[in-house]
Homo-oligomer: A and B are copies of this chain.
Amino acid sequence: MIIVCKASANEEKLNKLIAHLNSLGLETHVSIGVMSTVIGLIGDTSKVDIESLEAWDITEKVKRVSEPFKLANRKFHNEPTVIDINGVKIGDKYFSVMAGPCSVESEEQIIACAKSIKAAGGNILRGGAFKPRTSPYAFRGLKEKGLDLLLTAKKETGLPVVSELMSLEHLDLFSDIDIIQIGARNMQNFELLSELGKCGKPILLKRGLANTIEEWLMSAEYIMASGNPNVILCERGIRTFETTTRNTLDISAVPVLRGLTHLPVIIDPSHATGKATLIHPLAKAGVAVGADGLMIEVHPTPEQALCDGAQSITPQKFAEIMSDVKTLCHIEGRIL
């Protein structure tokens, strides 16, 4: 971390600030320039509050030099993390495809979906029971009953299941769910993240609509700092000015994260674009860019879906996509 001081900083004020920094256990290196004086901080700055240093009247700005995350940081843990979900692995060589309906709607729907996904080569079943909806008047999921139906489909097909948790009050209901999904809107629900750190279950952490990669890793750090190392990151599009797609898939996030963290990273082209016709090309791009998996919305009859119909694809289309995904995984040396 470095502190750029104003030209007006006199020796007395500088010494006071330096004494304060030393009292925080930090070593300081001072470079006096013509227009400004720069103080370099050496030591563990991950707990230093940038804001309070900026409040000193001689401070012009404060810049971090090292990343504020540690447990998620590749510098301290170079080996890629592989997460094992009932035998299905994600990370390093292992590629995984999570698919299923936006929302579990009926036993018939979820079981038909699960079977077709398995047949096409998908290896994890997704299905929403608690649905975050912008409008209070929209369908908000079958809740507990939705989870039950998802578990029925798990029993029927053997596929591990992933579903979104929206509130700690429902945590008990998720005991047999294999992966707990935290949605974009809860990526910085810090109370929720801390508690999830206490259960050992794999957490699928979606990126927030307007969150930087660093903030996303800090949210993973929250879960890890509470004791749970099993975090899967999911890029699902960020909010930009472009309106032809629901969000803008930040595909560069995959190789950027590869450099910064050892955690697995998957891509969700369904939420990223909101359009069924874009899923196929983006799924292929996801494999080619080096992601560790995909999450895709599949629905037997998209035009009857109770939510997100526009971005859902049919099982037939899913099988077609899987054929290309397998070809690309083979080339990339990934095991699916």
Contacts and interface: CB of A to CB of B under 8 A. Distances in A.
A218 B46 CA distance: 34
A35 B74 CA distance: 12
A17 to B, nearest CB: 9
B75 A218 contact: no
Interface stretch (A79-87, A116-124, A145-153, A250-258): A250-258
Nearest to A210: B210
The contact size tier of chain A is 35 or more
Given A212-B241, A288-B288, A305-B52, A282 B137 contact: no
A36 interface: yes
Contacts of A55: 276, 302-303, 305, 309-310, 312
Contacts of A307: 49, 51-52
Tell me the dominant secondary structure on chain A's binding face: mixed
A240 interface: yes
Given A38-B40, A244-B212, A251-B282, A49 B138 contact: yes
Contact of A240 (B50, B221, B248, B327): B248
A49 B222 CA distance: 35
Given A51-B311, A239-B241, A252-B278, A328 B188 contact: no
Contact of A166 (B51, B191, B287): B191
Contact of A304 (B52, B168, B222, B273): B52
Interface stretch (A63-71, A93-101, A155-163): A63-71
Nearest to A64: B63
Interface in A259-293: 259, 272-278, 281-282, 284-290
A52 to B, nearest CB: 4
A242 B251 contact: no
A29 interface: yes
Contact of A281 (B53, B139, B290): B290
A209 B239 CA distance: 10
Given A29-B31, A47-B135, A186-B189, 18 more contacts: A2-B40, A33-B42, A49-B309, A51-B309, A57-B303, A136-B190, A136-B222, A136-B226, A212-B242, A240-B240, A241-B241, A242-B253, A244-B256, A249-B251, A251-B285, A281-B290, A288-B328, A328-B331
Closest 8 A/B residue pairs (Cβ) = A210-B210, A55-B309, A54-B310, A288-B288, A52-B309, A55-B302, A285-B289, A284-B288
